[in-house]
Amino acid sequence: MAIGSGCVEHRLNHLARSTQPTPQSVIIELETKNFVLQPKFLISQLNRKSFSILIQNLGEHLIFEKSIFYKACCRDFPTALLNAKHRYSQIYHSFILAQFGQACTKTVRDSIQTLIREFQSASHQKSKKRMTIATQEKLQYNWKHVISLAGLHIGALFAFLPSNFNWTAVGLTVFMHWITGGLGITLGWHRLLTHRSFQTPKFVEYFLAFCGALACQGGIIDWVGLHRLHHTHSDQNAIDPHNAQNGFWWSHLGWMLYKGPAHAEIARCTKDISSDPFYQFLQNYFLPIQIVFGVLLYFAAGWPFVVWVIFVRLILVYHCTWFVNSATHKFGYRTYETKDSSTNCWWVAVLTYGEGWHNNHHAFQYSARHGMKWWEIDFTWMTIQVLEALGLASKVKLPAK
């Protein structure tokens, strides 16, 4: 006798209602790839292997059919398993319904206990996930970032006015893109300070850190801390500030528009730089430094230079840096099977002086060299080699051969 799934649902729901939703009284529902435990209010993913072991141990008592959903109801455990087969044998072809009882062998009972433990841990995970979702729902806007990023983008649009065009200003913009994005952020803030891939004399370190501050990407201590957190929690949770699992736009710029939980973790992972007075100065005064730079440009060269060298350059360097968080967790190829979604992407490497070999970087975070193959051009690695040749870089770290 064929019984439709609607009827099965009804019967299972009736069973679920008729018992207390204790771990022993759950409806186990398997749909396509996922096992789902559902005592009415709970849906959690289960370990397929342990469920398979349970099913194997139940042996002849259960019959499975592919392509439809399978269900098993563990009710009033322990009661008669064998009876269940008898009672529901006519509907085995469309679903499984069984009551596990005292007739269970020890192996079956162990399997069920394992399943119940997983059920409990899955419930725990689920409630944690719910908490995360609840936290995300309550995310508050970081208005300082929303307004400043909007303002800078609008300012950059003034470059389209023909009266603001000036070739010298464009050339200086490209040059300052390299100084602030290449020497500052990539070489200084990322490879030197965040990952300590090499060492330099203090004056070189401070010079590179200052160049990075001119990119106006927030305080240096915050930047280093957030990036370290990205590596420790890559794609796992909200402590990875730009968790790429939340989508391209979130990892590109969306994350900056909200106050995230990662900020509370920064102090814990920046102890090596947070007590340095120069870094404290850059942390607190990166914005006044930028304003002074803009005022100097205005008086020395005029408004078009402010539009290009401040607004356009900042926006360009921003998006180049952000592509490392977004595009190189989405586009390109993977050389190493890292636990995150990082990729190697040639055009990001071009825009960021070598940072686009991001999968290599996630695999060997301490390495001063990110481009590992001869054709993975890494301009910053070349710069480090030049510094080394000049005696300005030492203890350069590379992956073990």
Q: Which residues bind Zn ion (CB under 5 A)?
A: 342
Q: How far is the CB of 282 from Zn ion (least distance, A)?
A: 19
Give the Cα separation of 81 and 303 in Å (integer). 84
Residue nearest to Zn ion (CB): 342
Tokens 């759950």 found at:
26
Sheet holding 44-45, edge to edge: 44-45, 34-37, 26-31, 70-74
Q: Which is nearer to Zn ion, 217 or 342 (CB)?
A: 342
Q: How far is the CB of 343 from Zn ion (least distance, A)?
A: 9
Q: How far is the CB of 46 from Zn ion (least distance, A)?
A: 31
Q: Which is nearer to Zn ion, 26 or 363 (CB)?
A: 363
Give the Cα separation of 353 and 384 in Å (integer). 12
Q: How far is the CB of 135 from Zn ion (least distance, A)?
A: 22
| Rounded CA Rg of the chain | 29
3-state helix, strand, coil in the chain (%, to 5): 60, 5, 35
Instruction: Please list the alpha-helical segments (H only) found in 19-137.
Output: 48-58, 81-88, 106-137
Q: How far is the CB of 199 from Zn ion (least distance, A)?
A: 17
Q: How far is the CB of 396 from Zn ion (least distance, A)?
A: 16
What's at 70, amino acid-wise?
Y
Say if CB 96 and CB 66 are below 8 A apart.
no
Say if CB 156 and CB 307 are below 8 A apart.
yes
Q: Give the Å distances, CA to CA, from 92 to 76, 86, 255, 356.
A: 20, 10, 50, 55
Q: Which is nearer to Zn ion, 99 or 321 (CB)?
A: 321
Exposed, middle or buried by CB within 10 Å (0-12, 13-18, 19+), for 103?
A: middle
Please give the helix or strand (H or E) that residue 325 lies within, else none: helix 313-325
Q: Which is nearer to Zn ion, 289 or 396 (CB)?
A: 396
Q: Which is nearer to Zn ion, 164 or 243 (CB)?
A: 243
Q: Which is nearer to Zn ion, 84 or 244 (CB)?
A: 244
Q: Which is nearer to Zn ion, 283 or 342 (CB)?
A: 342
Q: How far is the CB of 349 from Zn ion (least distance, A)?
A: 14
Taking each helix axis as running N to C, give the angle between helix 277-301 and helix 202-213, from 0 to 180 degrees, rounded to the nearest 10. Answer: 60
Q: Which is nearer to Zn ion, 166 or 325 (CB)?
A: 325
Q: How far is the CB of 358 from Zn ion (least distance, A)?
A: 5
Q: Reduced to 3 states, what is the DSSP secondary structure of residue 38? A: coil
